[in-house]
Structure 1
Amino acid sequence: MVRLNKIVRAFTHEGARAVRFTPEMELKRALMNCLLWEKQFYEDGVAIADRIAALVPKVAPARVAQLAIEAREVMKLRHAPLLVIREMARSEKHRALVADTLAQVIQRPDEMTELLAIYWADALGPQQQRKRQPVSAQVKKGLARALTKFDAYQLAKYDRDGAVRIRDVLFLVHAKPRDADQAKVWKQLVDGELASPDTWEVSLSAGKCKRETFERLIAEKKLGGLALLRNLRLMQTAQVPRETIAGAIEAMRTDRILPYRFITAARYAPDFEPELEAAMLKSVKDHVRLSGRTRLLIDVSGSMFTALSAQSEMTRAEAACGLAILAREICDEVEIFTFSNEVVKVPPRRGFALRDAIINSQPHGGTYLGKAVAEIDRKGDRLIVFTDEQSHDQVPEPKARGTMVNVASYQHGVGHGAWTRVNGFSEAVVAWIAASETALN
């Protein structure tokens, strides 16, 4: 006799009994951390994409649309929200929301071409020839509305060679320009006559002297903060004077850059660690504060030392260190612990010294999150856990305000009871925690 009413149990990749989620919760977990089609420590990226595709029809249309928008606007993801919209277009009950969702999700011109590449990916033949199936009316409407967002500079910057070009989108959707000026820009796009934008990428690829290019961009204040951090090593190689680079770091805007960006920059340009640390601490000076007592618990197991994405040089552990540096500065009272096989309290250091203390606190082995929570959680405190949730052991309910910040897209997670879940790492994590607590009071 076949037993139909079987109990189906879920487990993490490390073997702990996991929490079973609703389809909506599963979709959010998979989506909010998903750098689409990229391999993670435990799961293949294709499996994660397939899971997203299977979950979309099971979740209410309005909620799916909301999650796609949140993934783009809050989590800053680009490909995964487009996959969600492509799956919405397949579903009869979801497709009515496709145009509105697509118009809001697309924030860069090249996202229009990427959406079409995803849309047509199913139709790859044996010789990898794209059989371009008809695009749905809702997708065309959304793309047409998105096209009107962009000016000549943006179109020129992101009009790159590929199987689908921005002008192909223009021909496909028959969009109407806002005015005569936009009509002129679109004609220049079609004719290949848009002027190249003055960006550091264009200047360097044009074969100009790298040192002169960087010095000019710094002098003209055309090198933004993130671009400056990403190019420190290249500027050193190009022999840009140290005082020029140091002055640019000192003068850069830091209000939208959180600590983990500086941590990654310092890994590749350690000579500028003093200047980077000063800029990093300045970046959190006016951040929203967390009142009361906070305990921060950071996963330093082996899986946390994989990159956040194939395009990123930052690991999950570095992102966690950035959160710890931020917490040290903005919490009224804070204690920081790491966990892997053991639980270790980190000394009360600041800046890069705190990063070093976290990374070197213990060997990077297993993931005994349940044991760590049981050991350090106490009533009256806020407990924030930064982890990929792949625990060996079951995680108990928090005694007070417990927040589980999950940085991976794995199907199953841990933490039974009244945990507040933050799916995905964002620059807004700490601000979100403060806002959610305010709303509850």
Structure 2
Amino acid sequence: MSTLNKIKRVFTREGGPAVKLGPEAELRRTLMNCLLWEDQFYDSGVTIAERIRALVAEVKPEVCAALAVEAREAMKLRHAPLLVVREMARLPSHRGLVAETLARVIQRPDEMTEFLAIYWADALGPMQQRKKQAVSAQVKKGLARALAKFDAYQLAKYDRDGAVRLRDVLFLVHAKPKDAEQEKVWKQLVDGELVAADTWEVGLSAGEDKRQVFERLIAEKKLGALALLRNLRLMQKAGVPREVIAGALSQMRTERVLPFRFITAARHAPDFEPELEQAMLSSLAGHVKLPGKTRLLIDVSGSMDAVMSHQSEMTRLDAACGLAILAREVCEEVEIFTFSQGVKKVPPRHGFALRDAIVMSQPHGGTYLGAAVSEVDVKGERLIVFTDEQSHDKVPAPRGLGYMVNVASYQHAVGFGPWRRIDGFSEAIISWIATVEGAA
């Protein structure tokens, strides 16, 4: 018989030698870049979700809970953290932390219904039959705590048609209102009498004049930052005056807006690129700085051009460019390079000009990260790599401070030796680097 005493080697999807991660590191890597059920360049959304399911059972419950919270609060992901909590609810060893974790990761009312849809997703038959499945006591406690966080406006805004409604959540968990006002609101929710929230979706679906709807919501400061960014092109088509839109952009709150959101908005509404760039850069004014010399290395290979979601045009490269723009502003001294088949140095421009320089620097072909690191890494300097890590070649250890920022959910990592690994595409990444170096 053949021997079983063999060294098991792992490789990237491009065939380069990779690192076999432990369950905790692999769960973090898979989770922090996951838009649930969405395909990535090399893996299907189903494959990624199944990996998360399997890994939760291998990771300590307190670690699973912390990762779910981090994914929601730091990486601003909505659905993937819910899947982690759902898998925790299956495991006797993990159930004790479900209520607390679920209540924390649910930050919008519709996330309660999304969670139940995930909870029942693997049941057979129509949703009416799935509702008959028992829901664990910890899940009920978590949903009840979450439900109590939301006021009448929030409940009305997200009380939408679907297989699971918000009133179904209320019936399921038997939550107790904290006071008479909340009891009244919940009764209105059950009876379908909540006053519809004054949102752009409601106004447009009611047949109101699009221009009037947007102008009124802007004047009353009822259009949030994400809604504003997503609707720039629609507002232009509706005839909203440019100065009105520009004024809204200058006043919007940007603390919860990821850098790549501005890049996507500018792609759809290039007329507002100056205002979008100013908003993006102004949000970085108080950001912690990275002292000394930093080299940025950005992956522009073909796999980085894959969209993050079938409902969006955002790509992994958009995420990397957003982080590069942020890093450019907070680094004391910086040099910027891209890599694919080879390495190209790009000018250290600001804002969208840097995005353009990165994207246009070279053809988007294969991924030779090892050769790129060997060429640009300098002893004693900081190197930050933004990549999906699917390299053809072996990646050497860094000569100085090396950070491998992964923006995809693929199973295996690259880079041997003392690389500091970061997963995700939140602006919190740069703060983390500053913190671990003692610069914060």
1:24 matched to which residue of 2?
Answer: 24
SS in 2 for 1:58: coil
Q: Kindly indicate whether residue 116 of structure 2 is the aligned counterpart of residue 150 of structure 1.
A: no
Question: Which runs of structure 2 are paired with 1:37-48 in the superposition (5 Å)?
Answer: 37-48=37-48
Question: Greater CA deviation, 111-120 or 367-376?
Answer: 111-120
Q: Which amino acid aligns with 2:7?
A: I
For 1:162 and 1:220, the matched residues in 2 are separated by: 30
Question: Greater CA deviation, 322-331 or 7-16?
Answer: 322-331
Question: Which runs of structure 2 are paired with 1:130-141 in the superposition (5 Å)?
Answer: 130=130, 132-141=132-141
For 1:29 and 1:142, the matched residues in 2 are separated by: 26
Q: Which amino acid aligns with 2:398?
A: P
For 1:275 and 1:115, the matched residues in 2 are separated by: 37
For 2:258 and 2:81, the matched residues in 1 are separated by: 24
Check the 8 A contact 1:288/1:434 in 2, yes or no.
yes
Question: Which runs of structure 2 are paired with 1:216-255 in the superposition (5 Å)?
Answer: 216-255=216-255
| Aligned-pair identity (%) | 75
For 1:112 and 1:224, the matched residues in 2 are separated by: 21
Structure 2 spans left out of the alignment, 5+ residues = none
| Gap change, CA 1:78 and 1:396, over 3 Å in 2 | same
1:369 matched to which residue of 2?
Answer: 369
1:329 matched to which residue of 2?
Answer: 329
For 2:297 and 2:12, the matched residues in 1 are separated by: 19
Question: Greater CA deviation, 231-240 or 250-259?
Answer: 250-259
| RMSD value, Cα | 1.8
1:174 matched to which residue of 2?
Answer: 174
Aligned residues: 440
Check the 8 A contact 1:72/1:78 in 2, yes or no.
yes
SS in 1 for 2:57: helix
Q: Which amino acid aligns with 1:229?
A: L
Question: Greater CA deviation, 247-256 or 230-239?
Answer: 247-256
Question: Which runs of structure 2 are paired with 1:303-382 in the superposition (5 Å)?
Answer: 303-382=303-382
Check the 8 A contact 2:277/2:352 in 1, yes or no.
yes
For 2:12 and 2:353, the matched residues in 1 are separated by: 33
Check the 8 A contact 2:320/2:407 in 1, yes or no.
no
Report the alpha carbon displacement of residue 96 of structure 1 after superposing the two structures with TM. 1.6
Q: Kindly indicate whether residue 195 of structure 2 is the aligned counterpart of residue 195 of structure 1.
A: yes
Report the alpha carbon displacement of residue 369 of structure 1 after superposing the two structures with TM. 0.4
Check the 8 A contact 2:28/2:423 in 1, yes or no.
yes
Check the 8 A contact 2:39/2:308 in 1, yes or no.
no
1:391 matched to which residue of 2?
Answer: 391
1:186 matched to which residue of 2?
Answer: 186
| Gap change, CA 1:127 and 1:179, over 3 Å in 2 | closer
Question: Greater CA deviation, 279-288 or 196-205?
Answer: 279-288
For 1:221 and 1:173, the matched residues in 2 are separated by: 34
| Gap change, CA 1:66 and 1:250, over 3 Å in 2 | closer
SS in 2 for 1:51: helix
Q: Kindly indicate whether residue 64 of structure 2 is the aligned counterpart of residue 83 of structure 1.
A: no
Q: Which amino acid aligns with 2:433?
A: I
| Gap change, CA 1:10 and 1:38, over 3 Å in 2 | same
For 2:82 and 2:102, the matched residues in 1 are separated by: 8
Q: Deviations over 1:192-225 (max 9, x none)?
A: 1111111222222221101111111222222233
Report the alpha carbon displacement of residue 127 of structure 1 after superposing the two structures with TM. 10
Check the 8 A contact 2:32/2:71 in 1, yes or no.
yes
2:109 matched to which residue of 1?
Answer: 109
Check the 8 A contact 2:11/2:412 in 1, yes or no.
yes
Question: Greater CA deviation, 395-404 or 273-282?
Answer: 273-282
Report the alpha carbon displacement of residue 190 of structure 1 after superposing the two structures with TM. 0.4
| Gap change, CA 1:254 and 1:51, over 3 Å in 2 | closer
1:294 matched to which residue of 2?
Answer: 294
- When normalised by structure 1's length, the TM-score is 0.96
SS in 2 for 1:234: helix
| Gap change, CA 1:55 and 1:227, over 3 Å in 2 | same
Check the 8 A contact 2:320/2:425 in 1, yes or no.
no
For 1:64 and 1:230, the matched residues in 2 are separated by: 32
For 1:294 and 1:110, the matched residues in 2 are separated by: 42
For 2:364 and 2:84, the matched residues in 1 are separated by: 35
Check the 8 A contact 2:326/2:427 in 1, yes or no.
no
- When normalised by structure 2's length, the TM-score is 0.96
SS in 2 for 1:67: helix
Check the 8 A contact 2:20/2:412 in 1, yes or no.
yes
Check the 8 A contact 1:41/1:303 in 2, yes or no.
yes
SS in 2 for 1:121: coil
For 1:179 and 1:129, the matched residues in 2 are separated by: 34
Question: Greater CA deviation, 388-397 or 300-309?
Answer: 300-309
Check the 8 A contact 1:293/1:334 in 2, yes or no.
yes
Q: Which amino acid aligns with 1:363?
A: P
SS in 2 for 1:334: strand
1:266 matched to which residue of 2?
Answer: 266
1:211 matched to which residue of 2?
Answer: 211
Q: Which amino acid aligns with 1:416?
A: F
